[in-house]
Amino acid sequence: MQEWIQLLIDGVTIGGVYAVIALGYTLVYGVLRMINFAHGELFMMGAFTGFYTLTAFENNTSLNDSAPVLTIAVAIMMGMVVAVVLALVMERVAYRPLRRAPRLAPLISAIGVSILLRNIMLRVTNAQGKVYPKVFPRTALQIGEVRVLYVQIFLLVLSLLFLVLLYLFIQRTKAGVAIRAVAEDRDTASLMGINVDRTIMTTFAVGAALAGAAGVVYGMFVTTATSGMGFIPGIKAFTAAVLGGIGSVPGAMAGGYLLGITEALSTKFFGAQYKDVVAFVLLVAVLIFRPWGIFGKREDKRA
């Protein structure tokens, strides 16, 4: 029983990461009908920014000891800023010129950006993983045999907080309305006086900020940063977004948690080497019965 609870906690932790990254995929898909395959690399860049920021703080011990909360907050902010800047450059350079091109062109451009960023970091780090400084006490909450690291609680709280904030942003703010309008119909939105370019940039920025923050927190959780670390979470988050219904914000959230928890619990039956198989079988199973995902809208009526 305790092992089940422990696996559930493991699943919720990684599920939260998937959910936050999946939001970026789903937002961009919503407005552009395009999968940004370089999204996982924004997550990776966030993790590296977090590493460099926290290392700089670690060397400044007085600040690190007196205000650990502040250093963590600054690291997360830095991760977000770097990811946002990169995403805006990426959008301007690699995607905007291809906006009217066939759908496959920006997709391939995204794969190119992904390879580029990964290999830049490979060069910078000399292929060696970076070890995160210890910012969280590595002790854990012990309930019977079940252990929960403080960073896991932090990760869970933060991911839920981001989801709520994003929901409010999309539903309650003017920029959010603009994003929804562009997602609905780009040309009509433009005729209604919405600046489509700016709205698309906002969408990229919001998705990137989430990925960057997730990268820093994930880095603190797994205490490592490597150039290839964005790839698997990126693919999994993409799966989560499709599972939940791509284009849907609650769908990305639900898909992320569902995927993370299913993966973790499945290891009890099949061993960890089959958890990717389980994840994709789940995806196929859902798509057979609901091709538009759990929360997605049917697209068959769209021209």
Partner 1 sequence: MKMGSRARSRMLLVGGMLATLTLVFAACSSGTSSTDKTSTAAAGGGGKTPAAGVTSAATSATGSAGAITIKKGDKIKIGISTTLTTDNAQLGIPIQDAALLAIKTKGTIKGFAIEGDSQDDQCAGPASVTAANKLIADGVVAVVGPMCSGGAVAALDPYSKANMLVVSASATNPSVTAQGKKDFFRTAWNDATQGAEMAKYAYTTLSKKNVVLVNDQSTYGKGLMDVFKASFTGLGGKVAGEEAVTVGEKDFSPIVTKIKSANPDMVVFGGFIAEGAVLVRQLKEAGVTAAFMGADGIADQKFIDQAGGAAEGAYVSRGPKPTDTKLYDAFAAAYKAAYGKDAGQFTEQSSDATNIILMAIDKVATVDGSGNLIIDRQKLIDAVKTTSYAGASGQIDFDAKGDRKVVGAVNEIDQVKNGKLTRIQ
From 11, 30, 50, 215, residue interacting with partner 1 (rule: CB under 8 A): 11
* Residue 147 neighbours by CB under 8 Å, 6+ apart: 6, 140, 141
Query: How many other CB atoms are there within 10 angstroms of residue 302's CB atom?
Result: 7
Residue 92 or 103: the one with the smaller Cβ distance to partner 1 is 92
3-state secondary structure of 131: strand
Among 1, 178, 201, 235, which residue's Cα sits nearest to residue 89?
Answer: 201
190 with 196: CB under 8 angstroms?
yes
Provide the β-strand partners of residue 147.
Answer: 142
Tokens of 108: 């391939």
Q: Which helix (H) or strand (E) holds 143?
A: strand 140-143
Q: Which stretch binds partner 1 (CB under 8 A): 13-21, 57-65, 199-207, 294-302?
A: 13-21
Residue 140 or 153: the one with the smaller Cβ distance to partner 1 is 140
**Distances from the Cα of 169 to the Cα of 101, 174, 179, 285, angstroms:** 30, 8, 10, 32
Nearest approach in angstroms of CB 139 to partner 1 is 9
Residue 7 or 160: the one with the smaller Cβ distance to partner 1 is 7
**Distances from the Cα of 92 to the Cα of 33, 39, 89, 143, angstroms:** 17, 15, 5, 50
Nearest approach in angstroms of CB 222 to partner 1 is 4
- From residue 209 to residue 238, the character string flagging contacts with partner 1 as x (rule: CB under 8 A) and all else as - is ---------x--xxxx-xxxx-xx------
Residue 235 or 294: the one with the smaller Cβ distance to partner 1 is 235
Our finding on whether 108 is near partner 1 (CB under 8 A) is: yes
- From residue 58 to residue 87, the character string flagging contacts with partner 1 as x (rule: CB under 8 A) and all else as - is ------------------------------
Q: Which residues bind partner 1 (CB under 8 A)?
A: 2-3, 6-7, 10-11, 13-14, 17, 92-98, 105, 108-113, 115-116, 119, 122, 126-129, 131-132, 138, 140, 147, 149, 218, 221-224, 226-229, 231-232, 263-264, 267-268, 271-273, 275-276
